[in-house]
Amino acid sequence: MGSTSSTLLKIPNVEVLMQETGFSPAHIIRLHDRFKALDKKGRGHLCPQDFGAIKELAMNPIGDRIIGAFFSPGKETVDFHTFVKILAHFRPVDKNRPKEPNSPEPINSRSNKLRFAFQLYDQDKDGKISRDELLKVLRAMLGMQVTEEQLESIADRTIQEADLDRDDAISFEEFRKVSPEILHSRCFIKAPVIMLMERDC
C-alpha cells in the first residue's frame, strides 16, 4: 500500500485526473507503469515512434490512425495525462454514476466513444467523413482482398446508407444516427480492455 501512494504522489494532479477519467488509483498506477514501459528513453512523454515500437500495433491495419488519435494536432508528444484521458474513452459506461446536471459529460459517455471512432475516419478534421476518407479506411481494412473498383462501390454504398442530407459525406450526426446498434453492442460500450484491467486490479 505504501508503494501505491508513493507512486501516486509522483504523478502531478492525480486527483484531478481521477476525477475526470473515473479511473481508480489502481488503474492509474497500472497505466503509469505501462506508460513508463513505453517511454523507453524516460522523457516523461511519448512520441509516435514509441507507439510504433509495439509490434502488434504495427500490424493493426488502422494502427497508425489509432496512434494518431493520441496526438492533438500539431503536437508531437503525449504526456501521461492525455494518455490516460484517451484511454478513458474505453472505460465501460457506468450505469450507477450519479447524474449531476451541471457536471460535464464524462469521457466514457456513449457519444464521446462514438466521437472517438468518428475521428479515426475523419482525418482532415472537417467534421465529415468524405468518400475519400472512407475509402482510405476501407482500403486499410479490406486490404488486397478486393479490387479498387469494388472498394469504391462499397464506399459509395456505405455513404449512401448513412448520408441523410445527400452531401456525399457522413457528418457526426449521421454517423451517430446509423449506429444505434453499435451503441448497444457489447464490444464497444463495455470495452473489455479496461474491464479486464479492472479485474486484475
Partner 1 sequence: MASSVYLCLLRAVFLVCFVNPLIQGLSGDTNVIQNPHHQLEENLTGLPIVTFKWHHVQTPYLVIIWVFVAGLAKLSVVELNHHVTSVFPESGLLIIMGFILGGIVWGADRAQTFKLLPPTFFYYLLPQIILDASYFMPNKLFFSNLGAILIYAIFGTCWNAATVGLSLWGCYEAGAMGNLDIGLLQFLLFGSLIAAVDPVAVIAVFEEVHVNEVLFILVFGESLLNDGVTVVLYNVFDAFVALGGPRIDAAEIFKGIFSFVVVAFGGSFLGIGFAILLSLLTRCTKHIQIIEAGFVFVVGYLAYLTAEMLSLSAILSITFCGICCQKYVNANMDEKSVTTVRHAMKLLANGSETMIFLFLGVTAIDTEIWVWNTGFILLTLLFVFIYRIIGTFLFTWMLNKFRLVPIEVIDQVVMSYGGLRGAVAYGLAALLDEDKIPEKNLMISTTLIVVYFTVILQGITMKPLVQWLKVKRAAHSDLKLIEKLNNRAFDHILAAVEDICGRIGDNWWTRGWNRFEENYISWLLMKPKARKNRDYLFSIFHKLNLEDAINYVSEGERQGSLAFNRSDEAANVDFKKQFGSEFADVMPNIMVDMSTYELGIEHFSVTSTVKDTIPSVSLDIHGQDRKNAMDDINAHHLLQQHLYRSRKHHRHKYSRSHFSINQNEDEVQEIFQRTMRSRLESFKSAKMGVNPAKKITKHHKKELTHKHLTKHDLVFLVDSAVGSETGAINSTFMRDTYTVGAGIENPVFLPDMDSPSHSLPWLMETEAVAPSQRAQRRLPWTPNRLRRLAPMRISTCSTDSFLMADVSLTLEEHEEQSQTDHEEMCFFLSTFEVNRL
Q: Give the interface with partner 1 as residue ranges (CB under 8 A).
A: 31, 34, 37-38, 51, 54, 56-57, 60-63, 66, 87, 90, 116-117, 120-121, 137-138, 141-142, 145-146, 149-150, 153-154, 156-158, 160-162, 170, 178-179, 181-182, 184-188, 190-197, 200
Nearer to partner 1, 18 or 117 (CB): 117
Name the minimum Å distance from CB 100 to partner 1: 27
Nearer to partner 1, 61 or 103 (CB): 61
Which residues make beta-bridge pairs with 78?
A: 46
What contacts 24+ positions apart, CB below 8 Å, involve 10-17? Answer: 11/80, 13/81, 17/81, 17/84, 17/85
Nearer to partner 1, 103 or 130 (CB): 130
Q: Which three cell numbers stand for residue 8?
A: 501516486
Nearer to partner 1, 26 or 66 (CB): 66
CB atoms within 10 A of CB 122: 22
Name the minimum Å distance from CB 14 to partner 1: 18
Name the minimum Å distance from CB 103 to partner 1: 25
CB atoms within 10 A of CB 167: 12
Name the minimum Å distance from CB 106 to partner 1: 18
Residue ranges of E strands in 42-199: 45-46, 78-79, 128-130, 169-171
Degrees to nearest 5, angle at CA 119 with 153 and 178:
55
